[in-house]
Amino acid sequence: MAEPTQPDDLGGNPVKELARRFFITFLLGVVVYRLGVFIAIPGVDASVLKDKVTGLGGSGDNALASIIAFADMFNGGAIANASIFGLGITPYISASIILQLLTFSIPSLKALQKEGESGRRKINQYTRYATLLICLVQSTMAAIALTHITDQGKVLVTWQNHLLFDVQAALVITTGSMMILWLAEQITKFGIGNGVSVIIMIGILSSLPGSFKSDQDLPHYLGIFLISLAIIAGIVVVVQAVRRIHLEQQRRIQGNKVYGGAQTTLPLKLNQANVIPVIFASPIMVVLGFVAGNLGKNFGLENLFSYGSPLYRYVFAGLIIGFTYFYISITFDLFDIANHFKQAGFFIKGIKPGKNTVDFLSYHLRRITFIGAVFLAVIAILPELLESNLGLSGRGGRMLMGGTGLLIVVGVSLDIMQKVNAFFLAHQYRGLAGIGGNGTDSRKSGKRF
């Protein structure tokens, strides 16, 4: 989330301030980040790796190509270019998910989260340390893998001393990934929206132009445009959908005054887990495809879990639904919520506090989780159902037809729109309060928003 806007940021023309924030986001997210994507690691022939990623290499190792291509989807083509930004922002995402799950599992971290801003700062610091550790491990594995990749006799690494290359490449890749994290933090602080999400969205959108083929006519592209709009509309509806549980506060009378009696709602989002179940399920499907491709050759099962097969779709959808329920069960503590209601004096009308409240919330949460999980599964398998029929190709074509990429793009776009709306509302309220940009009363100085 973007940091709270400081009073000095609210002074002056809000349009100029917003334009400045968008310019910083564009400069750091598009110019600097995309420029680094095309800077190759010293000592690497990027053309050999690009052939491997796109599946054009003659080695026939399609499983390895699919693993690399899956990781390349979130990095905007950085892996195919053997870039110093090859790991992208994924180590930070992995560290954040791990810390989030540990926060709900370890009491000390859970208590730290409840300390407020200071606790969140400590958890963020732990996340950065975990990111650095993951970067070191993954970059070392990537450097070792680069020295073993060949394609029709072509060697990827041109250095003779592989040990020296492994050390150098690991340090370069780790530094590049941590630099991306720094760029994301600057976007969050000085730009607009969540920097990590913006970086991911820019990487996904970078593949969009290459998804269109030159031999298609205009009606074909109009049909794709209409289908994409329908899918986006469905995603927006589900992402914004909320089941509101109405809460009432107990009233108490002291003397001649009545206290309590307030009313509020508990919003249960239909897509509570966001894209995390898809992120969990996708690597498992890649591993299953890799195992089947290598161990199933003798039995004719090498294409059992290949992309586009019916079994791939069914298992992928089942894993997404299962991981959705798993993630909700870990991160949504109903007993803690019920105890919080009881301590604050809130209750659900017609439902007794305690176990009855937990059962009531669990019943509704299971129902909306099922709908959200099925929606995630359908969106995830839509690309392979529509891609070949619509004449699209590559990561951009799959993103247009749904999947994790489109979910992320739509979610980040909605978040940026909400940030812009909140920005203008903050200016409006500040103008109505009569406070100028320098902290003076604008009603005295004659300045108003």
How does pLDDT run across 222-258, given as a tens digit for each residue?
Answer: 777 788 888 888 888 888 888 888 888 777 777 677 6
Which of 193, 212, 231 is a domain's end point?
Answer: 212
Residue 254 and residue 155 share a domain: no
- Does the pLDDT at position 10 exceed 60? no
- Give me the number of domains the chain comprises: 2
Which of 212, 242, 257 is a domain's end point?
Answer: 212
Question: Residues 6 or more apart from 141 whose CB is under 8 A from it?
Answer: none
Residue 399 domain-assigned (yes or no): no
- Does the pLDDT at position 182 exceed 60? yes
Residue 273 and residue 177 share a domain: no
Q: What average pLDDT does range 386-400 have in this prediction? A: 62
Residue 420 domain-assigned (yes or no): no
Residue 271 and residue 204 share a domain: no
Higher pLDDT, 127 or 210: 127
Residue 242 and residue 372 share a domain: yes
In three-state form (DSSP H/G/I as H, E/B as E, the rest C), the secondary structure along 293-346 is HHHCHHHCCCCCCCCCCHHHHHHHHHHHHHHHHHHHHHHCCHHHHHHHHHHHCE
pLDDT, position 215: 56
pLDDT, position 26: 92
Residue 447 domain-assigned (yes or no): no
Residue 181 and residue 59 share a domain: yes
Higher pLDDT, 434 or 59: 434
Amino acid present at 209? P
How does pLDDT run across 16-29, given as a tens digit for each residue?
Answer: 888 899 999 999 98
Amino acid present at 155? V
Amino acid present at 90? T
Q: What average pLDDT does range 377-382 have in this prediction? A: 85
- 176: CATH: 1.10.3370.10
Amino acid present at 263? Q
Tell me how far apart the alpha carbons of residues 389 and 373 are, in angstroms, rounded to a whole number.
26
Q: How many helices (H) and strands (E) does the chain have?
A: 17, 7
pLDDT, position 29: 87
Higher pLDDT, 292 or 83: 83
Residue 235 domain-assigned (yes or no): yes
Residue 25 domain-assigned (yes or no): yes
Token pair in block for residue 50: 């690009």
Residue 338 domain-assigned (yes or no): yes
Residue 174 and residue 252 share a domain: no
Which of 375, 391, 407 is a domain's end point?
Answer: 391
Tell me how far apart the alpha carbons of residues 48 and 401 are, in angstroms, rounded to a whole number.
29
Residue 426 domain-assigned (yes or no): no
Tell me how far apart the alpha carbons of residues 328 and 273 are, in angstroms, rounded to a whole number.
7
pLDDT, position 3: 45
pLDDT, position 420: 86
Range of the domain at 131: 1-212
Contact 401, 341 (CB under 8 A): no
DSSP single-letter state for residue 89: T
Q: What average pLDDT does the chain have?
A: 78
Residue 283 and residue 384 share a domain: yes
Residue 227 and residue 198 share a domain: no
Q: What average pLDDT does range 348-363 have in this prediction? A: 84
pLDDT, position 5: 45
Token pair in block for residue 91: 């180590």
Residue 182 and residue 288 share a domain: no
Residue 182 and residue 85 share a domain: yes
Instruction: Give the 3-state secondary structure of residue 216.
Output: coil
Residue 100 and residue 231 share a domain: no
Question: Residues 6 or more apart from 402 whose CB is under 8 A from it?
Answer: 231, 235, 378, 379, 380, 382, 383, 386
How does pLDDT run across 291-320, given as a tens digit for each residue?
Answer: 777 776 666 666 677 766 778 888 888 999
pLDDT, position 448: 35
Residue 379 and residue 254 share a domain: yes
CA distances from 128 to 18, 69, 121 (A): 29, 26, 11
- Does the pLDDT at position 271 exceed 80? yes
pLDDT, position 181: 92
pLDDT, position 2: 43
Residue 151 domain-assigned (yes or no): yes
pLDDT class for 396, splitting at 50, 70, 90?
low
Contact 30, 76 (CB under 8 A): no
